[in-house]
Structure 1
Amino acid sequence: MHQSAPDPRPRVLHLAQPVDGGVARVVLDLTEAQLAAGFRVTAACPGGDLAADLRDRGAEVRLWRAGRSPGPGLPGEVRRLGRLIEDVRPELVHAHSAKAGLAARLAVRGRIPTVFQPHAWSFEAVGGATAALALRWERWGARWADRVVCVSEAERATGVCAGVRASYAVIPNGIDPERFSPAAAAPVRSVLLPDLDPAAPLVVCVGRLCRQKGQDVLLRAWPRVLADVPDARLVLVGDGPDHDALRAHAHPSVLFAGAVANTVPWYRAADLVVLPSRWEGMALAPLEALACERPVVLTDVDGARESLPSALATRCLVPPGDPAALTAAVTGLLPDAALRASLAGQGRRHVLSTHDVRHTAQRVADLYRELLGARPSVPTERRESIHS
């Protein structure tokens, strides 16, 4: 009986939890590029829109039931992942974010090439004893990652300074310049916000409504912004665990758009995009806004300076958690249309030259090939059981 030859294309398994925000965007972009480049791509995640979007792009998707944060269910999540990995039999596992990185490294333990991409360090997201535990794990778990991929030099430096001794690769985040492109604000704004005065200055903040993204700091700054620019309006685009608390403290001029499938119209509608994060690796929202030729104001967290050309870094960065500094930056830009246009043009040129997602995907693919070439091939029947 004739047996078909084994498929020589390397199989990559992307493991994602969470399944929204920047992590989902990165997984989708890499999956699409890797399928086009000839990789066999499987993705494992807890479902949601990410799973549907991955299937639409032609990836095989496996359901991995797992919570967003570590908890009592972790041992079961690791066992389920071990069985899934043995069934898929990937040549390489790429785990995205702290939770997926924790489970993947515990399940694989170095048996096959493993890439861990933190998308911001876990120990920055928590405090006290929990932060100490997260840091201890990252230091220990680094031995089970063939590469730790950081999206900025600053994120890598944070890991190094924290004592996470790993084999690092820095591959900056990228955006799709065809999807995120400029358009006139007025027509888009008239559709999204038909009741808004077309002349009202509009600030947009795109991100999950949570402590990391710092919308509470922006809301504390907002009344001071209105003191200088009384007709300004602010839109928070996204949803998350802090929605109710943020709405309870928001000025009446603040609008909540909720979660949206497509953020591009909101960037295009904005006069200014603000992201007041407390920590990041390299946020995607500023890159997307700049690609849409909109100026940004960011907090000076990991990746922010590397996202911007020098002219914007001077004017558009503020310390995290500082409402007064945020107010000054916003009120310095919002009334000055000529300055905003100049900064936006410089920002778009910078993003197109340094943060094109095609370049990002190529560097990740090159890293995969390096790791796959560095390990001897092991026949399938001789592979050690992942969940033994």
Structure 2
Amino acid sequence: MHLVQPVDGGVARVVTDLVRAQAAGGLRVVVGCPPGGRLADEARDAGAEVLTWRAGRAPGPGLPAEVLGAARLVRRVRPDLVHAHSAKAGLAGRLAVRGSLPTVFQPHAWSFDAVGGATAALALRWERFGARWADRVLCVSESERREGESEGIAGHWSVIRNGVDLDHFRPGRPDPEQDRAEARAGLPLPDGLRGDGPLAVCVGRLCPQKGQDILLRAWPELLGAVPKARLALVGDGPDGERLRRTAPPGVFFAGAAADIRPWLRAADLVVLPSRWEGMALAPLEAMACGRPVLVSDVSGARESLPSGQGRLCLVPPEDPTALAKALGRLLAEPRLLAELGEQARQHARTDFDVRRTADAVTGLYHELLGRPRPSNQERISR
């Protein structure tokens, strides 16, 4: 049973990919999640039984009811194993189960990174205490695991990196220039952004974590070096209205996209200036489409890039000036971008296949349950 609070964004996509692979492998898969968003429908289509678990994104006075709701789902489903995703489900799920069932907790970035002050201190205290009720703390990058250890979380650790569907995320055409031109022709870009200048694309929920405000502060400085550069922000979220009010010229807010591939393929460069991550999916998806990425040096970022690209494609978090300089260097060099994009495509296809990720997670389940894993032939026959 997957217990999940975020019903959109990267966590929801990770869970849907796991559900699809696990259901195809013969597991009975149940997802407990709040109504709304994309997760319920997509998990159901992927083969899961979906049950409603009412939970808010932030901790608060509703927590006791959320824990009771999680406990009711566990009693109803009677799963062999509970896999709790992200901070809220990790909190409520572990309190509901308290070691009575094998439990995997996957933080998808640490809760104490998302808040400050006394709230961060409380979140860290909980993570240290709650680790006793996780048979395995599953991190999506080595840096995420190291951060947990350095903060005193005494977990039983596994690291399984995120992956993407390489059949879904791939170049639309073999020639990158033709692929870009075709993708741009089909996008709802305003006339003012349809020029011949380079296009940077940022895909992510409009929220403090993803750092679009840092990118908007960097953009005017970037235009001094690359005057024809354009920027598209793809996604929506709680910061949308504020970001629109402060956006400089040359920035287009595309809103949420059911299919982000045309935006990735249209880009000369995909940028994600996050404040914190576990291992972000958008850069992996961009690389699988053959596009270079520029990311802030947070958890998982270095591990996601091809070897040797860190010097050009990593910037310090929360540093608009460094971001502007890196954008200027890259967007002014089309040949360099083409070379980095091809390296990124090969790297994604070699290292970030979601089938490998899902197989490793299912193998972890079998390990915790003390059961032998099915052989490859048994999995194929299913």
- What interval of TM-score do these two structures reach, taking the shorter chain for normalisation? over 0.9
Cα deviations across residues 86-107 of structure 1 (Å, max 9, x unaligned)?
0000000001000000000000
How far is the alpha carbon of 1:374 from its aligned partner? 7.0
Q: CA RMSD in A?
A: 1.1
1:28: which partner in 2? 16
Matched, 1:255 2:252: yes
1:345: which partner in 2? 342
Q: Return the match for 1:125 from 95, 104, 114.
A: 114
1:368: which partner in 2? 365
Assess if the C-alpha contact under 8 Å between 1:180 and 1:292 holds in 2. yes
Matched, 1:17 2:5: yes
2:76: which partner in 1? 87
1:38: which partner in 2? 26
How far is the alpha carbon of 1:311 from its aligned partner? 2.1
1:209: which partner in 2? 206
2:375: which partner in 1? none
Matched, 1:275 2:272: yes
1:48-197 correspondence runs (5 A) = 48=36, 49-183=38-172, 184-192=179-187, 193=189, 195=191, 196-197=193-194
Write the letter of the residue equivalent to 2:360: R
Matched, 1:226 2:223: yes
2:299: which partner in 1? 302
The 1-side partners of 2:190 and 2:317 are apart by 33
The 2-side partners of 1:311 and 1:199 are apart by 29
Q: Return the match for 2:327 from 326, 330, 333.
A: 330
1:383: which partner in 2? none
Give identity over the alignment, percent: 65
1:286: which partner in 2? 283
Write the letter of the residue equivalent to 2:183: V
The 2-side partners of 1:231 and 1:360 are apart by 40
- Structure 2 unaligned residues grouped into runs of 5+: 173-178, 373-382
The 1-side partners of 2:58 and 2:324 are apart by 33
TM-score when normalising by structure 1: 0.92
SS in 1 for 2:318: coil
Write the letter of the residue equivalent to 1:268: R
Structure 1 segments, 4+ long, off by >4 Å, are: none
The 2-side partners of 1:84 and 1:330 are apart by 48
Distance 1:207 1:159, change over 3 A: same
How far is the alpha carbon of 1:201 from its aligned partner? 1.0
SS in 2 for 1:40: coil
Write the letter of the residue equivalent to 1:358: R
How far is the alpha carbon of 1:62 from its aligned partner? 0.2
Assess if the C-alpha contact under 8 Å between 1:189 and 1:269 holds in 2. yes
1:264: which partner in 2? 261
How far is the alpha carbon of 1:199 from its aligned partner? 1.3
How far is the alpha carbon of 1:238 from its aligned partner? 0.6
Matched, 1:200 2:197: yes
1:316: which partner in 2? 313
Assess if the C-alpha contact under 8 Å between 1:293 and 1:347 holds in 2. yes
Assess if the C-alpha contact under 8 Å between 1:312 and 1:347 holds in 2. no
The 2-side partners of 1:161 and 1:175 are apart by 29
Write the letter of the residue equivalent to 1:157: R
The 2-side partners of 1:295 and 1:214 are apart by 19
The 1-side partners of 2:371 and 2:67 are apart by 27
The 1-side partners of 2:125 and 2:171 are apart by 44
The 2-side partners of 1:26 and 1:296 are apart by 20
Write the letter of the residue equivalent to 1:167: H
SS in 2 for 1:326: helix
Assess if the C-alpha contact under 8 Å between 1:96 and 1:118 holds in 2. yes
How far is the alpha carbon of 1:123 from its aligned partner? 0.4
Write the letter of the residue equivalent to 1:222: W
The 1-side partners of 2:294 and 2:181 are apart by 21
The 1-side partners of 2:129 and 2:76 are apart by 27
How far is the alpha carbon of 1:197 from its aligned partner? 2.6
The 2-side partners of 1:72 and 1:290 are apart by 41
SS in 1 for 2:168: coil
Number of residue-to-residue matches in the alignment: 363
TM-score when normalising by structure 2: 0.93
1:7: which partner in 2? none
The 1-side partners of 2:11 and 2:329 are apart by 32
Assess if the C-alpha contact under 8 Å between 1:311 and 1:343 holds in 2. no
Moved more, 353-362 or 365-374: 365-374
SS in 1 for 2:50: strand
